[in-house]
A and B are shown apart, each in its own frame.
Chain A
Amino acid sequence: DIQMTQSPFTLSASVGDRVTITCRASQSINNWLAWYQQKPGKVPNLLIYQASILHTGVPSRFSGSGSGTEFTLTISSLQPEDSATYYCQQYNSYPETFGQGTKVEIK
């Protein structure tokens, strides 16, 4: 199975800050990568697929980049409602696997 490793595990930032989360795959997954946001007690929501394509309705302050084994999710200007846990997921090969999650907190 392809292992997905996210960093950091948690981060704390202020409103308006630029925030970056990294996701590394144990082998190349081309750009078959998705990002999800999960707020406490809520359902995961798709943010980005194909590493950089924004899902419908997702604010433009979210962006994704990368290919191969290293990917990033960037929030250009952190907002209070962005407090959540973020997961990456590879779908290059079966079984689909998720990263362990990165918790984003607002200072």
Chain B
Amino acid sequence: EVQLVESGGGLVQPGRSLRLSCAASGFTFDGSAMHWVRQPPGKGLEWVSGLTWNSVGVGYAASVRGRFTISRDNAKNSLYLQMDSLRPDDTALYYCARGGRYPGSGNQYYFDFWGQGTLVTVSS
């Protein structure tokens, strides 16, 4: 059974940092692209960042580029999101999601499994 368990969320002041973690199990983690998707309270979904299985391909949404850093440790089956210079509009539930790929596609991903999410609240 695929399991993704996020941690590291909490209440943080604007301008401060937070590091999210996602522990994966039940699938071949080092063969899978992984992503972070967020959802502000009462609002829709926004892709934040993604990373290929070997960390060669990395992408960020324009809203977080330069402030957030995605990384992974395949030996630990873990995905991370370092969030710096946090702003109130970063307040959201942050989901870790596995990138699903259609055979023969490039770095084009839908999200086939999701964690339960970890809540980040940025407020003074």
User: Contact residues of A with B, CB < 8 Å?
Assistant: 1, 32, 34, 36, 38, 43-46, 49-50, 55, 87, 89, 91-101
Number of interface residues of B (CB under 8 A): 25
Chain A min CB distance to B103 (Å): 10
With A91-B108, A95-B47 known as contacts, the answer to whether A43 contacts B102 (CB < 8 A) is: no
Measured in the bound complex, the distance between the Cα atoms of B112 and A34 in whole Å is 10
> Pick the contact of A46 from B59, B100, B107, B108 — CB < 8 Å?
B100
Q: Which of A97, A98, A101 has the largest count of B CB atoms less than 10 A from its CB?
A: A98
Q: Is the CB of B61 within 8 A of A92?
A: no
Given contacts A46-B111, A98-B46, 4 further A-B contacts (CB under 8 A): A44-B37, A44-B114, A49-B100, A96-B109
Asked whether any CB of chain A lies closer than 8 Å to the CB of B31, the reply is no
With A34-B110, A46-B110, A55-B112 known as contacts, the answer to whether A98 contacts B100 (CB < 8 A) is: no
Measured in the bound complex, the distance between the Cα atoms of B113 and A106 in whole Å is 27
User: Contact residues of B with A, CB < 8 Å?
Assistant: 37, 44-47, 50, 59-62, 95, 100, 102, 105, 107-117
Measured in the bound complex, the distance between the Cα atoms of B114 and A1 in whole Å is 24
Q: Which of A34, A43, A92 has the largest count of B CB atoms less than 10 A from its CB?
A: A43
Q: Is the CB of B112 within 8 A of A46?
A: yes
Query: Taking CB as reference atom, which chain A residue is nearest B65?
Result: A95
* 29 A-B pairs in the complex with CB atoms less than 8 angstroms apart: A32-B105, A32-B108, A34-B110, A36-B111, A38-B45, A43-B114, A43-B115, A44-B45, A44-B95, A44-B114, A46-B100, A46-B110, A46-B111, A46-B113, A49-B110, A89-B45, A89-B111, A91-B108, A91-B109, A91-B110, A94-B59, A94-B107, A95-B47, A95-B59, A95-B60, A98-B45, A98-B47, A99-B44, A100-B44
With A97-B47, A98-B44 known as contacts, the answer to whether A89 contacts B110 (CB < 8 A) is: yes
Query: Taking CB as reference atom, which chain B residue is nearest A96?
Result: B47
Residues of B within 8 A of A101 (CB): 44-45
Q: Which of B50, B61, B102, B111 has the largest count of A CB atoms less than 10 A from its CB?
A: B111
